[in-house]
Amino acid sequence: MMALPFLGTKTAPCPYCYTRIDPKNLSYRCWGQPAAGKTACTVSEDPDRVRILGDHEPVRKSFTSQSRQGLLAVRPACPDCGGSTGTRVCPNCHSVLPDNFTTDSPLFGIVGVRGSGKTVMLTVLGKELTQSVARRFDASIDSVGSSPLLTYLDNARKEMDSGGLLPGQTAAAQRVPAVYTITLRKEGLAGIKQTVSTIFSFYDTAGENLTTPDRARDLHYLEASNGVILLIDPFGFAANRDDALRRGVDAESLADEPRTILRALTDVLRESELLKPNKKIKKPVAVVLAKIDAFYDELPPDSPIRQPSSGEPLFDEQESKALHDYVAGLINKWGGDDLLRILDHNYQTYRFFVASALGAEPNYRSATVSSRGIQPHRVAEPLLWLMARKSLVGVTKA
C-alpha cells in the first residue's frame, strides 16, 4: 500500500517492495537462453527476494545493464550466459515489473486489524476487479505474476464460492503482494476517448501489525501508498460487542476497537508526510464498514446501505456522499464519535463506505460461508472512489 510520485518526479514505488525506483533505470532477469557457446543460467533462490519478500521460489539471475532504452533500445545481455533479455525487474527486490509500470502507476492499500475481514475482502475484490468492474468500465484487468498471495486468494475464493470455509488469519511472513494491471478507455477533452493504463498493488497485512503505532511504523508500504482502504469491523464498536459474541464471533478478534487501528494509521501517515500538528493528512482514506450484511435487519429496505452499486461506467459521486452521511450517523449511533473526530481532525479527504464481501452473514462459530456462496455487495466502491480521484474513471455530474 503505497504512493503516487509527486508531479515532476522521476521515480515510482515498486508495486512489490514499495521502494522508489526509476522506471528508466531498472534491472533485468535472464531468460535462460544463452549466447552461442555459453552455458545457460540455472534457477536458484534469490537472496534479495528472500530477505525483502520472504520469497524462496527459485528464479534466474537478475542484473543491471547500461543498454540504451528508447527508440534505438538494445536488449541487455546477461553477464553470465551472454543471452539477451527483455524482462524488467525492480533493482531492489528483483520482482518482474508489469509492462505498463511508469511514474504514473498509483498504488493503493487495504489495512485492517485482525478479524476485520480484510483477507476475505481482498479475495473477493480480486474477483470483482477482473469480472464485474472490468465489464462495467469496458476495461482489461488482469493479475500479474504468480505470487503466493495471489495463489492463496484464488484458492480461498474457490473454497468460499462452494460455501466452504472462510480463509484463516494472514501469515505475517507472507509479504509478496497481489498486483493487478488495468487498461481502459475514458473520455478526455472534447469527448475524445483516451487509453489509460495503470497498476494496482494490494498487500494483505497481518492484523497484529497495525494494532500499535510502533508496529505500524514497520509497514513502510503505508508511506508509499497514494490511497488507503481502511476496513473497520462494526462489531468492534462497544454497542455491538455483546451482539457479536451472541452470534459466535471470536472474542479475540474484538480486542482492538476501530479507533485503535485508525490512530495507528494516522500516526504513520502523519509521520510519513512530516506534518505539523495543525496540518492534515493529504492522502485520501476510504473508511469501510465491513461485514455490513450482519446489520441488514436493523436497516430499512430503502436504506442507502442496502442499495446495490451503480452499473454505470462512472463513479456516482452524489450517491457516495449520501451513503457517507448515512454511515457517519450509524457510527455515531454505535458510540464511534471518537472515530469521527479523529478523521475530522487529521484528514483532508476521507469517505465512508460499506461492504459485504460475502453478501450474506457466515456462520461465525464454524467459520463457514453461506451455502449460496459469494454474492458481493458494494465491494469495489472504495477502490473506484480512489480511482476517480486520480481521474482513472469518470464521475457523474451533479
User: What confidence tier does 321 reach under pLDDT thresholds 50, 70, 90?
Assistant: very high
Please classify residue 106 by burial: count the beta carbons closer than 10 Å to its beta carbon, then call 0-12 exposed, 13-18 middle and 19+ buried: buried
For residue 115, the model assigns a pLDDT of: 74
Q: Does 348 lie in the same domain as 254?
A: yes
For residue 1, the model assigns a pLDDT of: 40
For residue 217, the model assigns a pLDDT of: 52
Greatest mean pLDDT among 90-94, 148-152, 256-260 lies in: 90-94
- Provide the whole-model pTM: 0.87
Least confident of 84-93, 199-208, 383-392: 199-208
Examine the pLDDT at 71 and tell me if it is beyond 50: no
Examine the pLDDT at 186 and tell me if it is beyond 60: yes
Q: Does 113 lie in the same domain as 58?
A: no
Q: What amino acid occupies position 219?
A: L
Q: Does 137 lie in the same domain as 243?
A: yes
Neighbour tally for 337: CB within 10 Å:
12
Provide φ and ψ at 345, rounded to 5°.
Answer: -80, -20
Q: Does 345 lie in the same domain as 238?
A: yes
Least confident of 57-61, 231-235, 369-373, 387-391: 369-373
For residue 307, the model assigns a pLDDT of: 92
For residue 4, the model assigns a pLDDT of: 37
Higher pLDDT: 196 or 263? It is 263
Residue 351 lies in a domain: yes
Q: Does 208 lie in the same domain as 186?
A: yes
Examine the pLDDT at 256 and tell me if it is beyond 90: no
Q: Which letter does DSSP use for residue 190 in this model?
A: G
Examine the pLDDT at 213 and tell me if it is beyond 70: no
Cα–Cα distance for residue pair 184/43, rounded to 1 Å:
36
For residue 280, the model assigns a pLDDT of: 97
- Work out the average pLDDT over 49-53: 90
Q: Does 358 lie in the same domain as 295?
A: yes
For residue 306, the model assigns a pLDDT of: 93
Grid cell, residue 353, equals 463506505
Examine the pLDDT at 172 and tell me if it is beyond 80: no
- Work out the average pLDDT over 90-94: 95
Count of domains observed in the chain: 2
SS3 181: strand
Examine the pLDDT at 33 and tell me if it is beyond 80: yes
Computed over every residue of the chain, the mean pLDDT equals: 86
Examine the pLDDT at 194 and tell me if it is beyond 90: no
Please state, for a pLDDT cut of 90, what percent of the chain lies above it: 45
For residue 108, the model assigns a pLDDT of: 81
Examine the pLDDT at 257 and tell me if it is beyond 60: yes
Higher pLDDT: 349 or 144? It is 349
Residue 165 lies in a domain: yes
Residue 5 lies in a domain: no
Q: Does 211 lie in the same domain as 77?
A: no
Neighbour tally for 279: CB within 10 Å:
12
Domain of residue 44, residue span: 27-96
User: What confidence tier does 286 reach under pLDDT thresholds 50, 70, 90?
Assistant: very high
Q: Does 289 lie in the same domain as 148?
A: yes
Residue 101 lies in a domain: no
- Work out the average pLDDT over 171-180: 70
Examine the pLDDT at 289 and tell me if it is beyond 60: yes
Residue 20 lies in a domain: no
Q: Does 312 lie in the same domain as 256?
A: yes
Cα–Cα distance for residue pair 227/200, rounded to 1 Å:
11
For residue 350, the model assigns a pLDDT of: 98
Q: Does 68 lie in the same domain as 216?
A: no
User: What confidence tier does 323 reach under pLDDT thresholds 50, 70, 90?
Assistant: very high
> String of b and e for 92-101 (b: at least 16 CB within 10 Å)?
bbbbbbbeeb
Higher pLDDT: 188 or 116? It is 116
Give the angle 208-212-216 at the CA atoms, nearest 5°. Answer: 75
Q: Does 272 lie in the same domain as 295?
A: yes
Q: Does 149 lie in the same domain as 40?
A: no
